[in-house]
Amino acid sequence: LEGVALRGGQKIVVIGGGYLGTTLCAALAQLNHELEQPNLIVQTFVESSPLQQYFPDYLCNHITQVLTGNGLHLSPDRLVTAVARGSEDSMLPTDEDGELTINKTTASDEREKENEKVQVTLMQGTLKEVLDDCDYVVLASTNVDPDVEIAKRSRLEIDRRNGGIVCNSSLEAYHGLFVAGSSASFFDPVLGRRRVDFYDNALNSGLLAGQNMCSEDGRLRRYAHQPTFRCTLPGTGLLFEAVGQINSNDSTVGVWLSK
């Protein structure tokens, strides 16, 4: 994506208002300052402001002001319903049952597609909106549900609330079967049962699961690590570091330090 952005003069749409999408947009907006012909960066999301799922309104409003001040175009309160090359008639092909079909393409076909613009269809309530002439569209979803189909067929317990495979505090889903990373719904002694998407959790839960699998005496260690995360928005001077569960629905106390 950086190589694409360095060309300049591109219209890039980023779908997603979470950590990944917002960080990506901040980096692209910062890169614009180095270009003779800046890119048009548009971030669209279903929330009212970036990172609204995680932070209180006053902080989200500050983030919005900083991002728009850096030249980022925000498109909030919009649900993406379709992405297609060219016009609406060139949607991805499907068969009679609605299944995606694969057509053989030649090298010339691929070159033609590279030159085609992308159209993004949005819904704001009952109003339809179309973003035309997009050069690139990036799906930047922070929260992705794990694929648990194999676990279902194996009759393992699935966490219907948080997603993922239910395991105990030692990350064991069944005798001798361990789960780690964002696929694990584990019991947190502080916050209760939860599933965490952060890299820090993937690293530390993977290490513990591996150690328990290789335990020579059969003793299993409990997962007592409290996952943390770090999020930096390039070019904004904003850095977020957190531990535990971050949710904008929780009560928040803000302390502002004067410079």
Per-residue model confidence as pLDDT tens digits over 161-204: 999 999 999 999 999 999 999 999 999 988 899 999 889 999 99
Please give the full DSSP string across 11-72, using - where no structure is assigned: EEEEE--SHHHHHHHHHHHHHHTT-SS--EEEEE-SSSSTTTTTS-HHHHHHHHHHHHHTTP
Model confidence at 2, pLDDT cuts 50, 70, 90, reads confident
Decide: pTM greater than 0.85.
no
Please tell me the predicted confidence (pLDDT) of residue 92: 47
Mean pLDDT over the full length of the chain: 87
> Which of 72-86, 176-190, 209-223, 240-254 shows the lowest mean pLDDT across its residues?
240-254
Please tell me the predicted confidence (pLDDT) of residue 109: 52
Model confidence at 244, pLDDT cuts 50, 70, 90, reads confident
Please tell me the predicted confidence (pLDDT) of residue 97: 55
Q: Are 23 and 233 in contact (CB under 8 A)?
A: yes
Higher pLDDT, 259 or 10: 10
